[in-house]
Amino acid sequence: MDSISPHSASPTYGQVFSIEDRGYSYHVQGAYAFFSAYSIIEELGLEIRSSSNKHRFLQGEWNFVVKDDILKRLSEVDIDELETITWLIRGTPSPLYSEIKPVLGIDSYWNDGEVILDQKLRIYDALHYCSYIRNYFIGHKFNEVIAYINPYDIHNVQRLARRLILGKLGLWSVINKH
């Protein structure tokens, strides 16, 4: 549906793709690509499990019960609590990111504060971002913020899904030994 090469995701090249309004047909294509990648996370059973009775965050901090649950399931696919993933944000952050609460992560090594605003997120924080975008902007009805979804957002969820698949198959540790 939509993908970018690892080469074009490199911070060396800055912002390769336009993040401006890409037209309604792209919104639908981009949303479907995001939704499809997120469906992989759900199929693996690695979504964040929270509800109106079991809030994800309490006073801006992870609810221990919810966090402990996802960490246990992540550990089963060889992901520990400290593992991070780089979340690509290029150009002026879109309103999509001002809507996601709470703001998580830290500036990546490559973050220049101007064009490259990449963040380092713990895997479970990245799952929260993906879940938030899916639940509030894509999953039930398109929110007007969906107009801001761009190739970097889709790359983020696809990359996270790839990492989870490799962990589930036991291949991540094999790849990282060489």
**Can you tell me the distance from the alpha carbon of 15 to that of 43, in angstroms, rounded to the nearest whole number?**
32
Number of H helices, E strands in the chain: 7, 5
* Each residue's pLDDT tens digit, 73-112: 999 999 999 999 999 999 988 888 888 889 999 999 999 9
Q: What is the pLDDT of residue 30?
A: 86
* Each residue's pLDDT tens digit, 15-46: 888 777 666 777 788 889 999 999 999 999 99
Identify whether the C-beta of residue 87 lies closer than 8 Å to the C-beta of residue 118.
yes
Q: What is the pLDDT of residue 47?
A: 97
Closest CA to 129 of 91, 151, 96: 96
pLDDT band at 70 (very low <50, low <70, confident <90, very high): very high
